Amino acid sequence: MSDVVIASDRNYLHLVSICVVSLFETNPDRKLHIHLLSNGVDVEDLGVLKTIVERYRGELSIYPIENLRDRLTVDVPSTISVTSYARLFVGSILPENLDKVLYIDCDIIFNGDIRNLFDTDLADNLVGGVLDPLISCTYKKEIKIPMNEPYINAGVLIIPLNLWRSERMEQKFVDYLVANGGKVHHHDQGIINAVCAGRKKILAPQFNVMSNSLCYPWKELYKINTPFYNQEEYKKGISCPAIIHFTGAIYGRPWIVGCTHPYANKFLQFKTKTAYKNIPLKPNNQSILHHLEGTLYRLLPFELFKRYMQSIYYLSYFKHSIKK
């Protein structure tokens, strides 16, 4: 039995359903137990998810997490759903007989066999994840980790629960958050990268192919990331993704009008196998700046687009520094 953990509030359970369908469809021979960390999801929607899991002969367990803000002990920015912080507390939320779990965000779909992912040997590492492709040294400075420390994306994580419990990781996460006044760059992802520094297992890139992985050439990502995957490994991973992570950015997201992501149709195909198949796409309310980013990416030569993005990045960092 393989244990998969997802957190959601009432706004995103349709994405959870699509994600779960894709998991079962692409891994039909695997016995799967879905653990949903539920932040106020209604009973009706939970029933819909249960029907899906039972259709594929899987198991579903539900854990209420409405007390997340109390667990954090400090206010956090409203720029991200507080539900995202739930992954920090899986050691105490989930049953003690669970040792290792796969934690996933709900904005992903599965696209292939993930047997090797479940079988990952973490040794003495505190977490396993895929390197985030567009992380500059500035982001590492923000969370005070060395420039040569790997920075992983928290959307797909292998978590050794027993190790988290024995090393009191939950308290360490909260202590780090409090020490930073509740404001950590990249929120819970930044916390995990900082607190687990020196003990991260780097997973193959195909297990979390983010939108930026598909937008930017390998040589550009390699320049700004230390460490990073070699060219052959990276290109092989993104050409045959086992997990596709719709992280927005240039392409947009497939549940929103105007998405140009190359795997958007795959998402919509899985959507047709859920009770949410007829719900319309959400209107595109992205900012003018984000809309311009996508437009320029499609129209400009990459070198000119890159210069534009660099100017936006430096302007943003300058404003951030002034506020601090």
Q: What is the pLDDT of residues 30-41, one digit of tens each?
A: 999 999 999 999
pLDDT tens, residue by residue, 39-67: 999 999 999 999 999 999 999 999 999 99
User: For the residues 242-252, what does the mean pLDDT come to?
Assistant: 91
Let me know: does 91 contact 120? Beta carbons within 8 Å. no
Q: Is the bond preceding residue 241 a cis peptide, omega within 30 degrees? A: no
User: For the residues 307-311, what does the mean pLDDT come to?
Assistant: 78
With cut-offs at 50, 70 and 90, classify the pLDDT of residue 280: very high
Let me know: does 33 contact 1? Beta carbons within 8 Å. yes
Whole-angstrom distance, CA of residue 193 vs CA of residue 144? 10
With cut-offs at 50, 70 and 90, classify the pLDDT of residue 248: confident
CATH class of 2-285: alpha beta
User: For the residues 293-307, what does the mean pLDDT come to?
Assistant: 84
- Which tops the pLDDT comparison, 294 or 184? 184
* Beta-carbon contacts of residue 36 (< 8 Å; ≥ 6 apart): 6, 7, 8, 16, 46, 49, 60, 61, 62, 63
Environment class of residue 152 by beta-carbon count within 10 Å: exposed (0-12), middle (13-18) or buried (19+)? buried
Whole-angstrom distance, CA of residue 224 vs CA of residue 136? 6
With cut-offs at 50, 70 and 90, classify the pLDDT of residue 316: low
Mean pLDDT of the chain: 92
Whole-angstrom distance, CA of residue 116 vs CA of residue 118? 6
Q: Which of 153, 309, 116 is nearest to 246 (CA)?
A: 153
Q: Which of 83, 106, 101, 119 is nearest to 164 (CA)?
A: 101
User: For the residues 253-270, what does the mean pLDDT come to?
Assistant: 96
The percentage of residues in the chain with a pLDDT greater than 70, rounded to a whole number, is 96
Let me know: does 254 contact 261? Beta carbons within 8 Å. yes
- pTM, entire model: 0.93
CA distances from 21 to 52, 159, 211, 275, 306 (A): 7, 22, 21, 11, 37
pLDDT tens, residue by residue, 122-148: 999 999 999 999 887 888 999 999 999
Mean pLDDT is lowest, of 191-200, 214-223, 268-277, 285-294, for 285-294
What pLDDT, on a 0 to 100 scale, did the predictor assign at position 322?
53
